[in-house]
Amino acid sequence: MNENTLSILKPDVIKRNIIGEVISYIERSGLKIIAQKKMLLTKEQAELFYEIHKERPFFSDLVEFMTSGSIVIQVISGENAVSKYRTIMGATDPKQAEKGTIRGDLADNIDANCVHGSDSIENAKREIAFFFAGYELIDIE
């Protein structure tokens, strides 16, 4: 089934200038990037986006990290995009991520773990709508 999912290349990726490397994992998997933009999240935007984690002990550190520099936000499309991208990302903790995954190959630690990806179709829809208007999702090929 063709799906869309959200991908965020986190501030560590932009600071290390490895945007292209991360994108190459996505493209080699057969998934397509149908929308992409670079932005700097405000504290309010980050808190709202990650509000599902508000009660967790890492919430304030996450918000601080996600507002520490630019991010690249993408909508990725393809067959089973949500689960496929989660596999490509690798485990949240890079020490547990398999080699050949974004986090297993490129991430420094559990906080600076390179990427965010939607964890379900429902969350993908919500997260995509948070950052993109419908007219920005272009897949005409």
Known catalytic residues are 116
Q: What are phi and psi of 11, to 5 degrees?
A: -55, -30
Q: Is 97 in contact with 114 (CB distance < 8 Å)?
A: no
Residue 18, CA distances (Å) to 14, 34, 58, 71 in order: 6, 20, 25, 12
Q: What are phi and psi of 8, to 5 degrees?
A: -120, 125
Q: How many whole angstroms separate alpha carbon 95 and alpha carbon 110?
A: 8
Closest to 118 (Cα-Cα) out of 3, 35, 33, 7: 7
Tokens representing 107?
Answer: 């991430």
Length of the chain, in residues: 141
